[in-house]
Chain A
Amino acid sequence: MASNPQLNANGELQHLLSIEGLPREILLQILTTAESFVGVTEREVKKVPLMRGKSVFNLFFEPSTRTRTTFEIAAKRLSADVINLNIAASSQTKGESLLDTVANLSAMHADVFVVRHNSSGAPYLIARHVKPHEHVINAGDGRHAHPTQGLLDLYTIRHYKKEFGRLTVAIVGDVLHSRVARSLIHGLTTLSVPEVRVIGPQTLIPAGVAALGVRVFHDMRAGLKDCDVVVMLRLQNERMNGPLLPSAQEFFKNYGLTADKLALARPDAIVMHPGPMNRGVEIDSPVADGPHSVILPQVTFGIAVRMAVMSIVAGN
């Protein structure tokens, strides 16, 4: 607690690096603030003046159009100035170190760095070296964490299910390589969800995941029984024909979400997916487009959640 790198001396959110280690009150503060921003995004003028004059630098060391765009929209709706840098394609290839890159950008008077990096821990390294008025938001680091995605999942669950205290939530698929799964598990347990399940083949469930307080299922039908929330994970293309899986078809047969498997969950279950989806691999089209799916609302909520995170950290 003494050295939580995300909190300032007053225990307020200074950087958002991971959901792990965030106190329950801060998670709830973010969700409640996001709810007010959802109201803003439904208006004709979808913009508030809160972060006028502040600069948000999107530092993407790993390409991701989608996540970068949602951060960009969020910053613009807060009236911040947004600068997008695809560093994969610039200085890093010229041999500049990560910290030199950040020091240079800091000299351009940044207030918030949104960082996506393929190395786990890169946002932590940056957070340790920025000036006190600069803030770092992790937009995905390696296999480690993707806290804003986890937060928007929590927001979506609260929106549809109102409370966390009686839910059964299943996370299905490639848990091993998923930074989304890790962030979400920490969030759900912090908010006292009584039952969190992970479902997937042995090869894609990390050893020791049970220590996070989740139940592991290798049989999807057993795992989905009576679930309130089903979170499908993306099976990354490069894994499909790798050594961990026989084939995409085989995976779909065992772990793809189809209407008949979903029927085992509760009748009012919601289906979530962080996107982008592989239809016919981890999720069947009729389910992705069906009445239980809240995949598109997740995207809308994601913007409000990122507005909340940015405005909270930049104000602390």
Chain B
Amino acid sequence: MSSKLPDAEALLPKLAAELKAHVTPATAMIGLHTGGAWVAERLHPLLGLKDPLGLMDIAFYRDDYAKEGLKHDPKKTRIPFEVEGRDLLLVDDVLYTGRTVRAAMNELFDYGRPRSIALVVLADRGGRQLPIGAQYVGAQVEVPAGKKLRLKRAASGKLSLELEETAGGE
């Protein structure tokens, strides 16, 4: 297996071009904290959407609260447009178990009833535990056992995908 990871920066314009073909007047974008927000902040200006970018932290909708509690300080969810009737692009960095996306959809429906939701991810590493798939995928990435695929952002704003040791699993 090649351990070469795709270049996150090169995936962005490719994703944007793919998305652009499907933008409707009702399209709006929401990025998931933290990595998905970074990706969304890069994609959003390339699509010419009329509404500002929405950002969501799914901490209050996680399914592992009973086991894990609130381990990190949640960011504030800010959705500066009406969700009702919109075509939403939900953006995350890495798609893995699908649990984050499940939580995000539950949260979204507490804001309203979108007309559609499409999932946009920079990387899909497989390993789904829920029936969830992404409509727009930057790259499929194989991740060796015991490793975790993480998006990093440098001080310059440059995005990169990196492998990390899993500290006690996810």
Cross-chain pair count, CB within 8 angstroms: 58
Task: Choose the segment among B2-10, B60-68, B125-133, B157-165 that binds chain A (4+ C-beta atoms closer than 8 Å).
Answer: B60-68
Q: How large is the interface on B (under 10, 10 to 19, 20 to 34, 35 or more residues)?
A: 20 to 34
Q: Is the interface of A mostly helix, strand, loop or mixed?
A: helix
Instruction: Establish whether residues B69 and A316, one from each chain, have CB atoms under 8 Å apart when the complex forms.
Output: yes
- Considering only residues 14-59 of chain A, those with a C-beta below 8 Å from chain B are 28-29, 32-33, 35-40, 43-45, 47-51, 53
Q: Which of B59, B61, B68, B73 contacts A29 (CB 8 A)?
A: B73
Instruction: Establish whether residues A311 and B70, one from each chain, have CB atoms under 8 Å apart when the complex forms.
Output: yes
Instruction: Establish whether residues B65 and A33, one from each chain, have CB atoms under 8 Å apart when the complex forms.
Output: no
Q: Contacts A36-B60, A43-B110, A48-B61 hold; do A312 and B76 have CB atoms under 8 A apart?
A: no
Chain A residues with CB below 8 A from B66, complex form:
53, 315
Q: Contacts A40-B60, A315-B65 hold; do A32 and B110 have CB atoms under 8 A apart?
A: no
Chain B residues with CB below 8 A from A32, complex form:
73-74
Instruction: Establish whether residues B65 and A36, one from each chain, have CB atoms under 8 Å apart when the complex forms.
Output: no
- How many Å lie between the Cα of A100 and that of B96 in the bound state? 48
- How many Å lie between the Cα of A315 and that of B57 in the bound state? 17
Chain A residues with CB below 8 A from B57, complex form:
36
Chain B residues with CB below 8 A from A44, complex form:
110-112
* Chain B residue nearest in CB terms to A45: B110
Q: Contacts A33-B70, A43-B111, A312-B70 hold; do A49 and B77 have CB atoms under 8 A apart?
A: no
Chain A residues with CB below 8 A from B78, complex form:
39
- How many Å lie between the Cα of A48 and that of B56 in the bound state? 14
Q: Which residues of A contact B (CB under 8 A)?
A: 12, 28-29, 32-33, 35-40, 43-45, 47-51, 53, 311-312, 314-316
Q: Which residues of B contact A (CB under 8 A)?
A: 57, 59-62, 65-66, 68-71, 73-78, 106-107, 110-112
